[in-house]
Structures are given as structure tokens and as C-alpha cells.
Amino acid sequence: MIYKVPFYSQFSDVKDSYWAARSCSIVNLKMILDFFDVDSPNIDDLIKNAYKEGLYGPWGWKQKNLIEFAEGFGLITHREDFNNFDRGLGKIKAHLDSGGLVIASIAKRILGNRRYHSILVIGYEEGDSLELLYYHDPELLDGAKKKSYFVDKETFEKDWRKMAMFFSKKP
């Protein structure tokens, strides 16, 4: 099961070069808003509005504030931290099954440094157990060519920070 979610790149679609490297969570939110057909500003204005409302801090976009910001667009949202990987993965799958989307916080290692990033989980595939998660990565430039990427369960377990934000449309 995979949702047809529009893809935006923080490097191709964000005009301000300062924000391009810092806008993964807001670009994910824009994909969510457009998927749910919610009237919203363009990506650059969305970033400006989020910044004006204090969503950005020294360590990036504040998840609690991002949730409240998304609720202002009429979305149903919440965030969770998980101690148990399988429980968290089960929650992600259940939320996707209910028609929602999930922003997952991941750790990336670049030249020996660890930094945080977020991806938008848009589907999954399972055999005897959940095998793959499909996602959009706003950091990628080639989203127009390749609509979604996938990650196997073992890799996701290694890189996921066990933090997720859940989004759905009000009935």
C-alpha cells in the first residue's frame, strides 16, 4: 500500500538558499497539506510563517510547535516517542492504514557527523511481517523522476530516532 503524495524537494522547490538546507520538516508538511487538499501557502511562505511563529530553534524545527502549526490548517495531529521499535512501527502502519501520513525523525551520518533529518512515510509493503516502508525524502533532488523510495525494516530500525509525528485529515 502506497499513497500518491506530491513530492517537493527542499533544494529544488525552496527558493531561499538559507532555508533550503533547513526546511525538511516544513517541506514534509507541505506535501501532507497538498495530499489532504488543504488550502495552504507556497513552500517559501509556509517556511516564513512557521519561522515567524517560533517553530525554528537552535536544533531545528520544534516538533511540538510543528504539530500545533499543522492543526491551524485543520489537520488532526499528534507526536509520539517510542522506546520499542516494533511498537512504533506498528503505530506507523496502523496510522497509514487509517489514511494518515507520518513524519519520521531520522539520524543521518555525513562524514562521521550525526545530524537529524525528517522523511515523510507514505506507505508500506509486507509479507509475513512489515518488510518495507515507502517514503519521500525532501532532501533529494530527483523526486520528479522517482516518486517514492523504500527502506527495509532493519535499516529503518538503525536510523529512525523512534520519534514520529502523525497527521490525518478531519472527517
- Are the CB atoms for 13 and 24 separated by under 8 Å? no
Per DSSP, the three-state class of 22 is coil
- Are the CB atoms for 108 and 116 separated by under 8 Å? yes
Q: Is the predicted pLDDT of residue 7 greater than 80, yes or no? A: yes
pLDDT digits 0-9 by tens, 48-61: 999 999 999 887 88
Question: Would you say domain 17-169 falls under CATH 2.60.40.420?
Answer: no
The structural domains of the chain, with segments of one domain joined by +, span 17-169
Sorting pLDDT into bands at 50, 70 and 90, what band is 110? low
pLDDT of residue 168: 98
Sorting pLDDT into bands at 50, 70 and 90, what band is 136? very high
Per DSSP, the three-state class of 141 is coil
pLDDT digits 0-9 by tens, 15-29: 999 999 999 999 999
Question: Considering only CA atoms, which of 126, 159, 143 is closest in space to residue 28?
Answer: 143
pTM: predicted TM-score of the whole model, two decimal places: 0.92
